[in-house]
């Protein structure tokens, strides 16, 4: 019979209250929501300014796409700051992660990187 092998030493910092785990989950959810809305906004802008002959012919509801992304991006900023404070990130790491919600596809990549880093540093 084999037993599960666990590393003898786990150098990760503990998260006894689950604060980092909760902050990481909130950050991950908002990174994906922000990224999806940014892709929708990008598609809307391409359609409105490159495909339509006159941008004023665009449907009126297109304005809500940018507003939705803006709202989710602000929430994403708060969740990024929450995780950065709890995980004790440097200011440069926090700033780059916050800016990731403004470039298409970058929020997905940063979410993956930051999740891997936090899980490697903390027992979450």
Question: For 7-60, how does the pLDDT look when each residue is reduced to its tens digit (9 = 90+)?
Answer: 567 788 887 788 999 999 999 999 999 999 999 999 999 999 898 888 888 899
CA–CA dist 55, 22 (Å, integer): 43
Give the integer Cα–Cα distance in Å for 112 and 11.
Answer: 21
Q: In whole angstroms, what is the distance from residue 83 CA to residue 54 CA? A: 43
Report yes or no: 30 and 79 within 8 Å, Cβ to Cβ. yes
How far is residue 35's CA from residue 38's CA, in Å, rounded to a whole number?
A: 5
Q: Are 38 and 59 in contact (CB under 8 A)?
A: no
pLDDT tens digits for range 52-109: 888 888 899 999 999 999 999 999 999 999 999 999 999 999 999 999 999 999 999 9
> In sequence order, what are the beta bridge partners of 13?
122
pTM of the predicted model, to two decimals? 0.85
């Amino acid at each position: 019979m084999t037993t599960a092998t666990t590393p003898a030493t786990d150098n990760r910092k503990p998260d006894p209250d689950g604060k980092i785990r909760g902050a990481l989950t909130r950050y991950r959810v908002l990174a994906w929501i922000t990224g999806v809305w940014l892709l929708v906004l990008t598609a809307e802008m391409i359609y409105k300014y490159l495909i339509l002959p006159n941008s004023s012919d665009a449907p009126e509801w297109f304005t809500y796409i940018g507003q939705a992304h803006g709202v989710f991006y602000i929430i994403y900023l708060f969740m990024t700051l929450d995780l950065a404070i709890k995980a004790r990130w440097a200011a440069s790491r926090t700033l780059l992660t916050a800016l990731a919600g403004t470039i298409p596809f970058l929020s997905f990549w940063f979410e993956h990187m930051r999740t891997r880093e936090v899980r490697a540093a903390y027992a979450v």
